[in-house]
Structure 1
Amino acid sequence: MSLALFLLLISNCFMTLAWYGHLKFLHDAPLWQAILFGWAIALLEYSFMIPATRLLAKHGWSLGQMKITQEVVTLLVFVPFMIFLFKQPFKLDYLWAGLCLLGCVYFVFRSA
């Protein structure tokens, strides 16, 4: 199970880079180059995401549990990415959003 969560974390690092990295690294490049950049990194993201979801499914996780967990991991990856790579200021609202996601985790896992 910890391997699946580790793969999910790595996958989200690549996903965040694929979706937003072009804004930092290719901001003056043509759109087609930004798209190819994103697709190349997304291939790496899928290479970690697919095994992660298969492992979680083998452990009996529902699709809802996998998706909510994915969203929590996404926020855990995105906030540091935004702060350290893009130099965006931290807002207390990110903490509140994280607490809302913890509520989602509670509800999706409570009947498991």
Structure 2
Amino acid sequence: MPVSAPNVLPIVLLLASNVFMTFAWYGHLKFTDKPLWLVVLASWAIALIEYCFAVPANRIGHEVYSAAQLKTMQEVITLIVFAAFSALYLKEPITLNVAIGFALIALGAFFVFKGPF
């Protein structure tokens, strides 16, 4: 598949989207002293930004990728972003069990893109 804006832009937008969503969902774990209602509102505000990246990613990406391929990309990008976030921001190590689990999910992604069988 040749490299073009519809091929690459969705990946870039999904990457940005996942950074925001990871912070929306897990960033508050470092702020357990804050009231839950406040972290929910902050998470919603961050998630709105995430949607501003995710929706165009899927709209543009659907020109060249199937919906299943877009969802698979999103999941693999989520795992990559989450692994980095978990290790760097939350200071939680990536254990062998987690790495194997993520690798099996990546193997599933391979089969979504490889085919048809």
* TM-score (norm: length of structure 1): 0.91
Which residue, 8, 15, 18 being the options, matches 2:21?
15
Deviation digits for residues 4-44 of structure 1 (CA, Å, limit 9, x no counterpart):
101100100000000011111x3111111011010000001
2:51 is the alignment partner of 1:46? yes
Instruction: Give, in angstroms, the shift of residue 70 of structure 1.
Output: 0.8
2:12 is the alignment partner of 1:6? yes
Instruction: Give, in angstroms, the shift of residue 74 of structure 1.
Output: 0.3
2:78 corresponding residue in structure 1: 74
Q: What aligned pairs does 1:75-94 form with structure 2 within 5 A after superposition?
A: 75-94=79-98
1:95 corresponding residue in structure 2: 99
Instruction: Give, in angstroms, the shift of residue 76 of structure 1.
Output: 0.3
* TM-score (norm: length of structure 2): 0.87
**What value does the CA root-mean-square deviation take over the aligned residues?**
1.3
Deviation digits for residues 21-79 of structure 1 (CA, Å, limit 9, x no counterpart):
1111x3111111011010000001001001111111011x2221111111100000001
Structure 1 ranges of 4+ moved more than 6 A: none
Which residue, 26, 40, 46 being the options, matches 1:35?
40
Consecutive unaligned residues in structure 2, runs of 5 or more? 1-6
2:3 corresponding residue in structure 1: none
Counterpart residue identity of residue 12, structure 1: N
Equivalences, count: 110
Counterpart residue identity of residue 40, structure 2: I
1:64 corresponding residue in structure 2: 68
